Chain A
Amino acid sequence: MPLADLAPEIAVLVTAVLALLAAMALPQPRHGWCAGVALAGLAVAAGLALSQAGLRQTTFSGTFALDGATASARLLILGLTALSVGLSPAWFATDRRHGEVYAMLLFSALGAMAMAGAADLMQLVMGVLLSSVTGYVLAAYHRDWAISLEAGMKYFLVGALANALLVIGVVLVMGIAGGPGYAALGSLPRDPLAVTGLALVLAGLLFKLGAVPAHPWVPDVAEGAPVPAAAFLTTVPKVAAAVALYRLVEVVPDEAAPLRLLLGLVAVATMTLGNLCALAQDDLRRLIGWSSVSQTGYALMAVAVAGALPALIGFLAAYAFANVAALAVVAHLRGRTRIADWRGLGRSHPAALAALALAFLSFVGVPPLAGFLGKLALFAATLEAGLWWLALAAAANTVISLAYYLRVLGPALLSHPEAEAAVMGRSTAITLGAATAALLALTAAWAPVWPLLPEAVLP
């Protein structure tokens, strides 16, 4: 059994168990040490993932693909999880169950990694479920706070429905294709049952992505979940689900089901709805949640055209690091959430607000930030495929999005402060710096990294 092929996943699993054991053994004030365990384990896993980056094969009887897409997704997931872990010690310091957060984050990351590499429908279901079940817990972690509970509840209800649909869809598709492997999907006939099944599978993945119509959990989780968990849940499952979706869409022949066209329409609906709803928010965390919905819409543009895998991964990386950076700023300022409360903070906390400005401008796609380079790649891919309506919709949406980002940045940077703002501490400041550095490094290293991105997934 080629156990070593899954070494990064196994490393994450072992680290999760170790972190859980440490949380049981340590007294509550020492639970912060579990973060060290988690970071060390994530570093080991990242090293293992890097050593496998050159592989192009499937493993475990074709159920798991080891290719460039898996390698990029693994590294992204590990990096984003590490940043979420970095935000946690200060945030959860007074939480009675502080130590268990790390195990939850790691298990959820494991589910995401399983999802991203899945080359088999059953494997996909397992990854989605593991990632979801842990996600519900993370969203509702502040169980004394109604808003957090509501977020967890909404995430759970939408997720339970979506996952049930996913399982039904998988059963239908398996029945038509004759097996769960992606290899069998290549010869999927044109059949109403197969189309129905695929649509249901898509519904499950769109839930993880936070795309229309399975998006309603995103703003609630962004608002109510603990900020480190929100940073995790709005990025890691998205990266995994986007790669999983890309794999699925690649193998299903266009004659069997017009998945690409469907996803193009979903992309337009998602970005438009996300942006329009974000316009009306008075709560910064909800605004970031809706903006995350709209960014998912842009990412789906890359799934809607063939051969846009580098654009997808590049854009996702730019989005994810910017989103974590934005939420890290929120965490650093102790979860300060009403937009009006951010007035004038640019004078008193210039570094944190500069990071927020960079993240938001990257979302808009202001050059030369990574978000722009990602959007440029997306626009080029869609226009090359002749989907001018998709590119124009994205351009119009970008303009809308600028309005609400500036509604936050304008008063925050241009006005005079009205009140003092307390900050969290050193660990959040360092994590915030790391997330911003990742965003800037991605911007600077775009040219050398771009040719390294995978051209295609394994068939």
Chain B
Amino acid sequence: MLTLAVIVPLLGALALAALPLDAARARPVATAVAGVPLALLLLVWATYDASGGFSAQAEMPWIPSLGIAWRVGVDGMSLSLALVSAVIFVAAIAWPIRVSDARAYHAWMLFLAGVSTGLFVTLDLVLFYVFFDLSLVGMYFLVGRWGHGDAQAAALKFFVYTLAGSLLILVGIIVLALSMPDLTFDMRAIIAAPPLSGPVAGLVLLALVAGFGIKTPVFPLHTWLPPAHVNAPGPVSAILAGVLLKMGAYGLVRVALQMVPEAFARHALPIALLGLASILWGALVACAQDNLKRRIAYTSVNHMGYVVLGVAVAGSGLGPEAARQIALTGAVVEMVAHGLITGALFLVAGAIWQRASDHDMGHFGGLAGPAPRLAGLATLAAFASLGLPGLAGFVAELHVFLGAFAVYPWIAAAGLLGILLTAALFLSMLRQVFFGELPATRADFADLTRRETAILGALLALVVLIGVWPAWLLSLIDAGSLVPTLGPGG
């Protein structure tokens, strides 16, 4: 079932690239294909066995002599992330954007959809790496070919920067696999009996944290992110923020935290400080941006900082176990919420670009007049992003900080500043773009079409649902099974 969820979009991409389909039909076909993994994942969720461990497992040998196999299966964290990314892909593909060469564009989108699903559902480290790298290739072509501005340079920077990270990860996972009693890249085996200890574990952890930190991205490894976002088309930005950034954070939990728990506990404090630095730096720098997309891009750095802080708290081995579980739950909910919210925000930015070919906030104002639907949905998304109670971001940040206060109270207190800054920067963004005086040049600014409204509305409905009634998501994530059991201090 999970295998199908990976293969169908990939085959769809191949078919779109090869078959002479009418360009106007490319979007509906691609949307339908992208819906398949979503349906399959919902089916997996319906039959999900919450008793711990991985569900819907399947295994097929690939290179047995090296312990590499096609292994898939999901637990609560990976299922929720795979579901969110499937939702974002359907939304981003269905989003009505004018592109040249629509067939190739949608083929790459489907390719990326298959690869991203694969990354979240695989249980083999080599396959994980394969999907991790293929996501870079897909994103490189999407940004480079369909981006605007200096898109090729941004795509190049993105690819080179993140490949550096992924090679560090490769070295890390090879060392992990080689130190198993029998050479294997099976995640389940490595999680069940983490093989490393001592200084080697510390070095592997360093490689993994640096590698995943680039992708997440964590301060100071985030500098590839703003140019990639600014130059990418809106839906591609939504995928970059909503899905690809999650890959880094997911890897941080799945590989760094679960496979080298002992070293993680020893070095949890510096990792938490990295998270704090991202929170503050991301928010501060975002405040200074005049470009709409750059501002949203930097809030991603800020939000991923909460995730890293939550993961660091969970792996610290300090404080009460319940606090660590709460922090990890918060981190995973933050991933889900950030995917939906920032995805929606980037779609809003894409809608504005489509109408005005401009992202400079100074050139806008009073858009609430001509475009009330756009303004309303953007306001909802911005409020969700700044952590307004009743919306998904609040649930996530509440959990992260509840856990963090029990373990690293000072870091948590400093991190709260980030929330304050985010609130300020989102409110000023809304004021500049949607309220105040409407410039004469924008008088004929068109509101969202019905389809755009429906897509944004659906994403934000999920955000409200998680905010109002998060219990179903929290029980699905079941962070208890993810937090490694360690004595205090590792």
Contacts and interface: CB of A to CB of B under 8 A. Distances in A.
A47 interface: no
B133 A414 contact: no
Contact of A410 (B134, B137, B152): B152
Interface string B200-240: 00010000000000000000000000000000000000000
A414 B66 contact: no
Given A367-B129, A383-B178, A403-B156, A450 B66 contact: yes
Interface in B80-131: 126, 129-130
A32 interface: no
A25 interface: no
B168 interface: yes
Interface in A387-433: 388, 391-392, 395-396, 398-399, 402-403, 406-407, 410-411, 413-415
Interface in B49-69: 61-66
A197 to B, nearest CB: 36
A410 B156 CA distance: 8
A144 interface: no
Interface of A is mostly: helix
A403 B161 CA distance: 10
Contact of B167 (A377, A388, A395, A415): A395
Interface stretch (B169-177, B242-250, B290-298, B314-322): B169-177
Contacts of A379: 170-171, 174
Interface residue tally on A, bucketed by range? 20 to 34
A345 to B, nearest CB: 14
A447 B156 contact: no
Which of B66, B130, B163: most chain A Cβ within 10 A?
Answer: B163
B468 interface: no
A368 B130 contact: yes
Which of A367, A380, A446: most chain B Cβ within 10 A?
Answer: A367
A379 B66 CA distance: 12
A361 interface: yes
Contact of B156 (A366, A377, A395, A406): A406
Contacts of A367: 126, 129-130, 133-134
Interface in B126-146: 126, 129-130, 133-134, 136-137, 140-141, 144-145
B333 interface: no
B162 to A, nearest CB: 10
A158 interface: no
Contacts of B168: 395
A376 interface: yes
B159 A447 contact: no
Contacts of B151: 414
B163 A376 contact: no
A383 B129 CA distance: 17
A398 B62 contact: no
A447 B170 contact: no
Contacts of B167: 395-396, 398-399
A392 B171 contact: yes
Contacts of A372: 130, 133
B164 interface: yes
A451 interface: yes
A413 B141 contact: yes
Interface of B is mostly: helix
Contact of A414 (B65, B152, B174): B152
A384 B141 contact: no
B89 to A, nearest CB: 21
Contact of B163 (A368, A373, A383, A398): A398
A83 B140 CA distance: 32
B160 interface: yes
Given A380-B66, A383-B175, A406 B141 contact: no
A406 B129 contact: no
Contacts of A407: 156
A406 B159 contact: yes
B155 interface: yes
Contacts of A414: 141, 144-145, 151-152, 155
A294 to B, nearest CB: 15
Contact of A451 (B65, B126, B175): B65
Contacts of A447: 61-64
B84 to A, nearest CB: 24
Contacts of A396: 164, 167
A380 B163 contact: no
A361 B203 CA distance: 28
A387 B171 CA distance: 12
Given A368-B130, A399-B164, A410-B144, A391 B171 contact: yes
Given A367-B133, A368-B130, A450-B66, A399 B163 contact: yes
B139 to A, nearest CB: 13
A406 B160 contact: yes
Which of A366, A388, A411: most chain B Cβ within 10 A?
Answer: A366
A336 B151 CA distance: 26
Contacts of A377: 66
Contacts of B137: 361, 366
A395 B160 CA distance: 12
Nearest to B63: A447
A391 B203 CA distance: 14
A383 B171 contact: yes
A361 B134 CA distance: 11
Which of A406, A411, A414: most chain B Cβ within 10 A?
Answer: A414
A395 B141 contact: no
B171 A450 contact: no
Contacts of B177: 380
Contacts of A451: 65
A447 to B, nearest CB: 4
Contacts of A399: 160, 163-164, 167
A372 B170 CA distance: 11
Interface string A338-371: 0000000000000000000000010010111000
Contacts of B175: 383
Interface string B170-190: 110011011000000000000
Contacts of B141: 413-414
B134 to A, nearest CB: 7
Nearest to B155: A410
Nearest to B146: A414
B145 A395 contact: no
A410 B140 CA distance: 9
Nearest to B164: A399
Contacts of A446: 63
Contacts of A366: 133-134, 136-137
A376 B203 CA distance: 19
A395 B170 contact: yes
Interface in A20-57: none
Contacts of A392: 171
A413 B145 contact: yes
A450 B61 CA distance: 14
Given A361-B137, A414-B144, A450-B65, A384 B178 contact: yes
Given A368-B134, A415-B152, 9 more contacts: A372-B133, A377-B66, A388-B171, A395-B164, A395-B167, A402-B159, A406-B156, A410-B144, A414-B141
Interface of B: 61-66, 126, 129-130, 133-134, 136-137, 140-141, 144-145, 151-152, 155-156, 159-160, 163-164, 167-168, 170-171, 174-175, 177-178, 203
14 contacts: A366-B133, A366-B134, A367-B129, A367-B134, A376-B126, A376-B170, A383-B171, A406-B160, A407-B156, A410-B152, A410-B156, A411-B152, A413-B145, A414-B152
7 smallest CB-CB distances across A and B, nearest first, come from: A367-B130, A395-B167, A414-B144, A399-B164, A447-B63, A414-B145, A410-B152
